[in-house]
Amino acid sequence: MARYVRVSTITFGGAHHAAAELKEIVKSNLEAAARLFERAVLDKPDIVALPEVFAFLGVSANQWEQVAETVDGQVVSTFRELARKHNCWVVCPFVERDDIGIRNSAAFIDRNGNVVAKYHKMHPTIDEINAGVIPGTEAVVVGTEFGRIGCAICFDLNFEDVIEGMAQKGVELVFFCSMYLGGLQMRIWAHDYSIFMASSCTSYGSMIVDPLGRVIVTSQPYQPIISRTINLDAVVLHLDYNHTKFAAIKERYGAAIEIDVSSPEAKCVLISHIPDKRASDIVAEFELEPLRSYFERAEKIRKQALAKLNHRRAP
């Protein structure tokens, strides 16, 4: 069945207010980001993401110890209230102080303003670690009413354990909160793991990417807030053994089933717009083979062929 979600991300590079006190920098950033958030909610999003440590931009990692906050601090509390006010989820990165030390974190805030989970950046940069930032050890995936979401923070994008950990937990939409754009690597994650990705960065070029690795929308100087409605009820297929059935699917369901082909990669995404029928129901009805199942079958047959060859060679 259709699982539509309105996704918004904010591009924000800091308030750029000269301030002698570090806490004043944080305050001015927080106020400016909150104003952008109030613009973002005009698009009626289900979820909004902000950039990595957005309220702490202009404060060096070596100074984070002086301004780090608990999850009950002003940064997360401000966006808890905004989430409750506007009835939307928020991915809120912040510099966190917990019982162990300083973290580069992201809080998942639900529509009621509750922090339902936190993700700690698994791969802080070398400079962050030298400044005392403690690496996280586990990928986090959160169940929502529209689907399963996760988060990667900046340097995380270079390490497979982050996306592998989320994929093993069934992630469908990953938010990339970052100080750099990620570019091709972000599209690779979306393509290779058949997921949607949405970035919120500190410079223009934040993107929303579909499970075929195609960019849906990109932020620009005149458009720091990007919003799109996506349908998470989607299955990625290889064209092999599946494409001959597409005409029959369209004859039966017409526009209610969307089949979006990316021929250079020989893949497609099948999306259901039917209220009471999932994309996986269409897969079962027409005996289609999802991408990963196809690759697993191909690898199994390969291993069987090699085993037979080895058997014939055995003395």
Structure tokens, 62 = 């070596």
170 and 38 in a single domain? The answer is yes
C-alpha–C-alpha distance, residues 51 and 62, integer Å: 19
98 and 179 in a single domain? The answer is yes
Number of domains in the chain: 2
Average of per-residue pLDDT across 118-145 = 98
Backbone conformation region of residue 102, classed left if phi is above 0, alpha if psi is from -120 to 50, else beta: beta
158 and 241 in a single domain? The answer is no
Which residues lie below 8 Å from residue 119, measured CB to CB, with a gap of 6+?
Answer: 105, 106, 108, 136, 139, 140, 150, 151, 153
Is 16 a residue whose pLDDT tops 80? no
Average of per-residue pLDDT across 208-225 = 98
117 and 153 in a single domain? The answer is yes
Percentage, residues of the chain above pLDDT 90: 96
175 and 26 in a single domain? The answer is yes
125 and 74 in a single domain? The answer is yes
- The residue assigned the tokens 């599209």 is 187
310 vs 88: which has the higher pLDDT: 88
Percentage, residues of the chain above pLDDT 70: 98
194 and 251 in a single domain? The answer is no
- The domain in which residue 46 lies consists of 4-231
Is 290 a residue whose pLDDT tops 70? yes
- The CA distances from residue 44 to 8, 73, 91, 122, in Å, are 9, 26, 16, 31
Q: Which of 119, 115, 121 is nearest to 135 (CA)?
A: 121
288 Cα distance to chain centroid: 27
Is 18 a residue whose pLDDT tops 80? no
Confidence grade of residue 20 (pLDDT, cut at 50, 70, 90): low
Confidence grade of residue 19 (pLDDT, cut at 50, 70, 90): low
Question: Per residue in 25-55, pLDDT tens?
Answer: 999 999 999 999 999 999 999 999 999 999 9
Question: Per residue in 230-257, pLDDT tens?
Answer: 999 999 999 999 999 999 999 999 999 9
Confidence grade of residue 1 (pLDDT, cut at 50, 70, 90): confident
61 and 196 in a single domain? The answer is yes
213 and 290 in a single domain? The answer is no
